[in-house]
Structure 1
Amino acid sequence: MAGRLNMLYRYSVNLTPPPADPVVKQGHVYSEFVLDLPPAWQAQAHAGDNTVAFHEPAADAALIVSVDFIESGATDLQALAAEVIARRLAALPAATPGLWQTLQQQVRPHRSGAGLELSFAAELPGEQVALYLGYATPRKLLHFLMLCGPDRAAAVALFNATVPQFQPRLP
């Protein structure tokens, strides 16, 4: 149909952090991020708490966004961020066995000053590329992980087209 409009789905995920006191159950709901994705991204069932997952069949790409609620001091964030990246990289071979290679990793202050921005790129040569963007604040760890086929350029292009549609709420 000529003049057909491309529609976007708007996902707003509300996640409830665990109460500070297990006896007191307060229903404080936080909207931790907004993610606008084209219709090609299909929502997938995911067993993890505080996790949403999507699949883009044409690109054979998966996107997993999750939140871990924490209690940390600002002085702990740098060490915590390095540990998060190390654990995420170590988890890749468990999900897809093989010799994963880290292409890049970085921790830097977020431009808002509300925490740290974490990132890495890794690949299982000839099979898969993993691109990660995360945020560490004194109250949460927010994870955005994209898994794509072996074409680095296509993976980076898809990641770069998708990341601007991800709006984390910090701190």
Structure 2
Amino acid sequence: MIDDARAGNLPAVTWITPRFELSDHPPGSSAFTHNWTSDLIEAIMKSDAWDQTAIFLTWDEWGGFYDHIRPIAVDPVGFGFRVPLLTISPYAVRGTIDDVTGEFSTPLRFIADNWGLPYLTDRIANTHDFEHVFDFTKPPRPPSVTGVRVKTFGRFDQFPENYPWPKGTVPDPSSF
């Protein structure tokens, strides 16, 4: 994936989900995840595609039951709890904190709006858009490549032998 990004070989829309050991889930080290994510974003920033790119970085975890905003009910399932999301783009408005409720289908709404596609579900139609986090009236900003790395130990695909995997859930090493 990183080589494809460096070479400018990513399609117009790329949905990236890291391998399990790079997913920030226990027992993996988040340091490896942060380095992999940073490398991927920097590869995109250094590519010719940067001036036409929007990266939506989100996590599949939320911060707990602290949220004071009730999830919007668009269907029997509802949107659920808010999760963090970063918008990285040469057109992103700096310092914007978006307090509008969105969820995992919000990037799908951006894709549909950007390419003039119909919404696939009511959930996508009812989530907010990202229009207000971009300013396309200004020229694209150059990439902000830091090269910062998190110190890591061991290998990203090695887990402690004594990790307390729940019974019957020990991952098959061939899936890594």
The structure with the largest strand share of the pair is 1
Higher gyration radius (CA): 2
The structure whose RCO (Cα within 8 Å, separation 6+) is larger is: 2
For normalisation by structure 2, the TM-score amounts to: 0.27
